[in-house]
Amino acid sequence: MKRVALITGASRGIGRAIALQLAADGYAVAVNYRTHADEAEALCDRIRQQGGTAAAFGCDVTDEQAVSAMVQAVTQQLGEISVLVHNAGIAQQKLFTDLSADEWHRMMAVHVDGAFYTCRAVLPQMIARHEGNIVLVSSMWGQVGGSCEVHYSTAKAALIGLTKALAKEVGPSSVRVNCVAPGVIRTEMTAGLGEDTLTELAQEAPLCRLGTPEDVAKAVSFLVGDGASFITGQVLAPNGGIVI
Ligand code: NAP
């Protein structure tokens, strides 16, 4: 039986690439989405056409009950979960002084509450089996802070703290917890920045290019694989060297 990987926010962008990569690595993949059911289903079709196993699960990761129900449904349909990648995310550029409380709380809810709900829902299975891997998707802005993205940077920094603390708590149960902190990656999230800004950001990176979703997916694949069996509580940064 294939091991099972649940990826949140896998209907598009980085999450989609992670789902394709982990399916190629031999996992049965649970594709979480919030609004883009068609894209999630199309991704599952593609994985199945390539001989893999995949199923789509709609759920807003900010909804505690819905996350529990999703984890139950994934377990029933595909089997117990070996890998959780909390990738679902939103972005917003705005002056700190213009942020509403709702905007602040929504940012924390998707990234931080979502990580809490998903990790807490999968961990009992992992701890009982003494086997499991969690990867949280942070950002370079969680490492260095981004102007006009204070709420985003705060949420992404929180994920790094969560990674380190949780890694210590569940390490004795043979569950590893790691984090990726991507640089600037070409997805719908960054498309709104405009080509001029994206070109400038690419030039700022020592490797002189933007990242691709596949660059991040390969880092995740490494972290959950046997080659990383002695690595936990770490932040791996597929970022072209823009933050060193
Ligand atoms: P994206 O293209 O905008 O895709 C975001 C994904 O998250 C979509 O699948 C979306 O689902 C899902 N999502 C959003 N809110 C959700 C919720 N409440 N519940 C469940 N799913 C939700 O973004 P991306 O660029 O691939 O980013 C993926 C992750 O990487 C995010 O955490 C982002 O912060 C992080 N990141 C991105 C970059 C970058 O440069 N792109 C850099 C560093 C870190 P639906 O479409 O179905 O609604």
Q: Is the CB of 90 under 6 A from ligand 1?
A: yes
Chain-centre distance of CA 217, in angstroms? Answer: 10
| Residue nearest ligand 1's atom 18 by CA | 60
| Residue nearest ligand 1's atom 39 by CA | 185
| Cα(82) to centroid(ligand 1), Å | 22
Q: Is the CB of 189 under 6 A from ligand 1?
A: yes
pLDDT over 70, % of the chain: 100
pTM: 0.99
| Cα(13) to centroid(ligand 1), Å | 7
pLDDT, averaged across the chain:
98
Both structure tokens of 161:
């703290």
User: What percent of the residues of the chain are helix, what percent strand, and what percent coil, each to the nearest 5?
Assistant: 55, 15, 30
Position 239 confidence tier, pLDDT thresholds 50, 70, 90:
very high
Taking the CA atoms of 143, 126, 18 and 240 in sequence, report the sign of the dihedral they define. Answer: positive
Q: Is the CB of 188 under 6 A from ligand 1?
A: yes
* Per-residue pLDDT tens digits for 119-174: 999 999 999 999 999 999 999 999 999 999 999 999 999 999 999 999 999 999 99
Confirm whether 33 is a catalytic residue.
no
- The closest-lying atom of ligand 1 relative to the alpha carbon of residue 36 is 47
| Cα(50) to centroid(ligand 1), Å | 24
CA distance 103 to 118: 21
* Per-residue pLDDT tens digits for 55-69: 999 999 999 999 999
* Per-residue pLDDT tens digits for 174-200: 999 999 999 999 999 999 999 999 999
CA distance 207 to 153: 23
**Mind listing the domains of the chain with CATH numbers?**
4-236 (3.40.50.720)
| Cα(128) to centroid(ligand 1), Å | 30
Is the model's pLDDT at 1 over the cut of 90? no
Residue that the structure tokens 């590893």 belong to: 176
Q: Is the CB of 240 under 6 A from ligand 1?
A: no
Q: Is the CB of 13 under 6 A from ligand 1?
A: yes
